[in-house]
Chain A
């Protein structure tokens, strides 16, 4: 989540201003504090010292009006250039991703590629990516500290920002993102992950995500899919290539098995956690009420069967 290791044009621009301002601020900090300390020591009460009685000095007033004016001017100039750089419209060839904030997860819709996913996305290094931001409920804020600064998702408004990840930003480890505007009970649990891929890896990922779900290969998985399709799950979740289509209340599960984390980045995606999540989501994430606790609706064996099926959807 660090803000001091920028990996895109956006965050490098911001970091450039930040460095200038931090250097200036540090100089002011040291000079003012040192002066206060020196004044306190030199002019402390001592035998024989008389306080000199004077009321002011116009020339000094002018000098120390000019000093902050100059500092502010030095900060303002790069600030204005950076504002221009960070708010200009995205280029035509940018990959457009619509982001919809929900309490408490992010839905991502790759408009041109026609694929929908949740909480984890892949983007190519060296290619501009434009995010169009909307909210389905309350105000959220989209933030990937190393790749892009914050922008709020305001219901009734469409906001946006774009950036190009550095060519050498591609790595297997995810860049972390988090909702940065307080959005209710589980605001702290609204996280997401961004994988910056090489262009080739990105193309592979898109092809995989665009494909229908992995067809169940064993009897156990086929049984799991039947159970899933007959359950309440399909009211809210989509799995492409099955009869569970159209539900966009919850995250798209077509390739859930390929994700690193569950429940908006709060826990590792493994069998144990997935079973715990399906059994009682609110235990894992306070305030989740749209998804029922399936431990009240199914047997543990049924939940395990569905979990195994979902994890097979790579």
Chain B
């Protein structure tokens, strides 16, 4: 992908250069999307491996597979890996690859910033994960409640890796969120009005604003923790005039919107796949979009429901109970509209549709259990028990991951030009569906039977033995499901690309170009006349515009400044872990990168 300005090629011809260097310097949204998706999936497997060790330890009472120290690292690393290194990046993979295609653009607004986001994410992820090689991973959970995280109670490097890893990842998310907000607002094709945007694009826009607003409080909290640990401040130290509850307020002000950052991509994906495979338009587009916006706003008013048992007092409990239950209303509206989308359809049950329909069911279970412990009195019994573990996994596995798999099977032909095998896909689905429910549904019973979270051992005779073993067997079924998917992926990648432009007869713009798309996405930027543009054009006899010979398409040239700047950022973060001289070394690297970046010729 060298030429800055080139005569357009036919969509079937690839202008891509290959080789490692071309990937390192790429600023192409499709390649960056692929990098995000593949990296995210690899970390999904890492997080899954951590979960398997946890389930192995808990399979029987007084388990001896791993010790307390390792267990406490694993449940924290499992959460951090799944949230920051797997589900968010897999979502970002779809944003990167699909958003420009779906809005009819040739790239994102800031392609080099996009590359910077990916490389900082990768380095942050490696920094956080490398903690297991240098003395141990974060061992106070992903929530890292003060004052357990102080130098006094966590003297090792574990929590420093947490602080610096998450700070680094935050830089990446912030840059990506700004990039996508600007892209979606400014880069739409002619006629792509806001109320014609695909729901997936709308959800990405909402997520972008959530991240832009949620990352600052997290950054403040992490910086306070870093300074408390090493530079003698006392923000969170009750013995120095600080308050450990300050951490909880700041953390959950980030942490709850973060939940919607994880689930909204899945809501966007099924809003694409349900109509396509029901062969009819999305029911209640406006209701779904505005419900998403409402969830985005309400997400800011519910953080203290994570803190019902900290002694908030009756007024605060009542207010946060009210706001939290209110979120059930737009969520319910969305579910009803998705169901109505199936009504009257002629539903083609592809693997993607299996996952989308299953999303409706399993996410609903997570939604219902969420409304249940929105009630503070009930939460005094369910907080910090396996009930909450069941709830959050129905939202994240039954919601976010189901949605992501629906998206993978749906967009795979577009991204690779190849189909995943439907037979293996359905085997993957059924194993995943059964394993997921076997693992997480019994956790409702365990929570009701009083089993607390985050315990590495438990006694027999409390009624917990059977369901723990059952859940562990379920987690093995999930493992088999993922192996089937991986096999399916590699098997498909060995076949010849044969996917047509629009194999599912879908209405979105991403299907108006070749599979996979050419480097410049579209030969001619499409004109949008309806919310379902390809269906409208088909039914009204609009043929795609012919490319004008000799047109020059401007594409940004590759650049190595993004990865260099990401390396500089990594040096900043490594400094407090080792020697501040390394931080000092990072500063000139970053300044040099900014300098080169700014003066780099763009055509």
Contact = CB atoms under 8 A, between A and B. Distances in A.
Contact of A150 (B313, B380, B458): B380
17 contacts: A3-B381, A32-B360, A32-B364, A36-B357, A43-B278, A43-B345, A43-B347, A54-B283, A57-B283, A61-B284, A67-B332, A68-B328, A86-B377, A137-B147, A138-B153, A145-B381, A180-B383
A148 B383 CA distance: 13
Interface of B: 67-69, 72, 139-141, 145-148, 153, 238-239, 242-245, 278-287, 309-311, 313-314, 317-318, 321-322, 325-326, 328-329, 331-333, 335-337, 339-340, 342-349, 357, 360-361, 364-365, 368-369, 371-372, 374-385, 447-458, 462-463
B329 A65 contact: yes
Contact of B313 (A55, A87, A179, A186): A87
A222 to B, nearest CB: 37
B377 A83 contact: yes
Contacts of A39: 339, 342-343, 347
A50 interface: yes
A240 interface: no
A139 B375 contact: no
A221 to B, nearest CB: 32
A11 B453 CA distance: 20
A154 B244 contact: yes
B145 A149 contact: no
A54 B344 contact: yes
B306 to A, nearest CB: 12
Contacts of B314: 83-84, 87-88
Contacts of B345: 43, 51-52
Contacts of A55: 281-285
Identify whether the interface residues of A are mostly helix, strand, loop, or mixed: mixed
User: Looking at B67, B280, B337, B377, which has the most chain A CB atoms within 10 Å of its CB?
Assistant: B377
Given A54-B283, A69-B329, A180-B383, A159 B310 contact: yes
A154 B449 contact: no
Contacts of A143: 452
Contacts of B335: 32
A94 interface: no
Contacts of A286: 67-69
Contact of A76 (B239, B325, B448, B456): B325
A45 interface: yes
B364 A51 contact: no
Contacts of B384: 141, 150, 180-182
Contacts of B279: 51
A40 interface: yes
Contacts of A4: 448
A286 B385 CA distance: 22
B455 A188 contact: yes
B153 A40 contact: no
A287 B68 contact: yes
Interface in A141-181: 141, 143, 145, 148-152, 154-157, 159-160, 176, 178-181
User: Looking at B68, B376, B380, B454, which has the most chain A CB atoms within 10 Å of its CB?
Assistant: B380
A50 B346 contact: yes
A80 B322 CA distance: 9
Contacts of A179: 452
Nearest to B454: A182
B328 A156 contact: no
A102 to B, nearest CB: 12
Given A1-B451, A14-B381, A185-B69, A36 B372 contact: no
A183 B384 CA distance: 12
Nearest to A183: B148
A82 B357 CA distance: 37
Nearest to A145: B450
